[in-house]
């Protein structure tokens, strides 16, 4: 049977083969080479400064910063919770600002400085925020914790720079480290274990020290 379309010259068979190939490509995990020769041409070169070290990648331009960190650079501290900007588990800092790494593409950060939980401190020399989370039991399962800590560090820097929040009544008041402020500013980081009281205690201690209070 002749399946040629007399109007546009395409055959029904050719359309079906092309569609099937598209479905296969769309269902492959990002970063997986379906056809190495063709994919190589589509890869983008990006250099990120990760925790002070330059790291170069040839990467599918659709790969998020979170997947680049976890799947390509094996930095699994930043966690994938929702993968669409609702939980904060993937929070890292880019050029000193906290961001949800699941909501941005790695190729958008060529040349940027990325700080992950691995770069904040290590077990022998904890960052003050990491030490405060340990001291105050600011975690239970720990899944949200890397994001909470990175977010808290970035958030305190925002406060020091005088950035108001939705609950700031008087932007002239310094410091702005009330629990109400801390809770509002950390509201993008969800803890399914509901460890919020301890998380706030930990952040309050670091914030207080930074503001010159005695802990």
Span from 17-25, 52-60, 83-91, 118-126 in contact with ligand FES (CB under 6 A):
83-91
Any contact of residue 86 with ligand FES (CB under 6 A)?
yes
The count of chain residues that interact with ligand FES, using the rule CB under 6 A, is 23
196-210 and 128-135 helices, crossing angle to 10°: 140
Query: Does residue 197 interact with ligand FES by CB under 6 A?
Result: no
Q: 46 φ, ψ to 5°?
A: -140, 140
The whole-angstrom separation of Cα 113 and Cα 51 is 7
Write down the least CB distance from residue 196 to ligand FES, Å. Answer: 9
What is the sign of the dihedral through the CA atoms of 25, 57, 52 and 135? positive
The yes or no reply on residue 80 touching ligand FES (CB under 6 A) is yes
Task: Tell me the C-alpha to C-alpha distance, in Å, between residue 25 and each of 8, 61, 97, 189.
Answer: 26, 15, 35, 34
Instruction: Pick out residues in 124-143 that bind ligand FES (CB under 6 A).
Output: 139-143
30/211 with CB nearer ligand FES: 30
Binding mask 149-188 for ligand FES (x = CB under 6 A): ----------------------------------------
24: its two tokens: 């296969």
Q: Are 188 and 151 in contact, with CB atoms under 8 Å apart?
A: yes
- Phi and psi at residue 4, in whole multiples of 5°? -70, 140
Beta carbon nearer to ligand FES, 139 or 177: 139
Q: Indicate whether 102 belongs to the interface with ligand FES (CB under 6 A).
A: yes
Which segment (15-23, 36-44, 78-86, 151-159) binds ligand FES by CB under 6 A? 78-86
Of positions 59, 191, 202, 206, contacts ligand FES by CB under 6 A: 191
Q: How many CB atoms lie within 10 A of CB 110?
A: 13
Q: Kindly state the tokens that stand for 158.
A: 């925002």
Q: Which residue ranges make up the site for ligand FES (CB under 6 A)?
A: 80-83, 85-90, 100, 102, 139-145, 191-193, 195
């Amino acid at each position: 049977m002749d399946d040629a379309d007399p109007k546009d010259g395409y055959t029904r068979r050719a359309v079906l083969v092309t569609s099937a190939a598209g479905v296969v490509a769309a269902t492959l995990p990002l970063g997986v080479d379906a056809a190495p020769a063709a994919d190589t041409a589509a890869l983008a070169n990006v250099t990120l400064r990760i925790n002070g070290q330059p790291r170069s990648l040839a990467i599918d331009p659709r790969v998020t910063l979170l997947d680049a960190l976890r799947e390509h650079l094996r930095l699994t501290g930043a966690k994938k919770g929702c993968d669409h900007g609702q939980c904060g588990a993937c929070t890292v800092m880019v050029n000193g600002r906290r961001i949800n790494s699941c909501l941005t593409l790695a190729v958008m950060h060529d040349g940027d400085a990325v700080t992950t939980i691995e770069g904040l401190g290590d077990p022998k020399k904890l960052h003050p925020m990491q030490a405060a989370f340990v001291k105050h039991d600011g975690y239970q399962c720990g899944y949200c914790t890397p994001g909470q800590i990175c977010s808290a560090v970035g958030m305190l820097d925002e406060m020091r720079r005088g950035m108001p929040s939705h609950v700031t009544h008087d932007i002239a008041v310094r410091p702005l480290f009330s629990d109400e402020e801390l809770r509002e500013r950390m509201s993008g980081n969800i803890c399914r274990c509901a460890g919020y009281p301890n998380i706030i205690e930990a952040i309050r201690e670091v914030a207080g020290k930074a503001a010159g209070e005695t802990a």
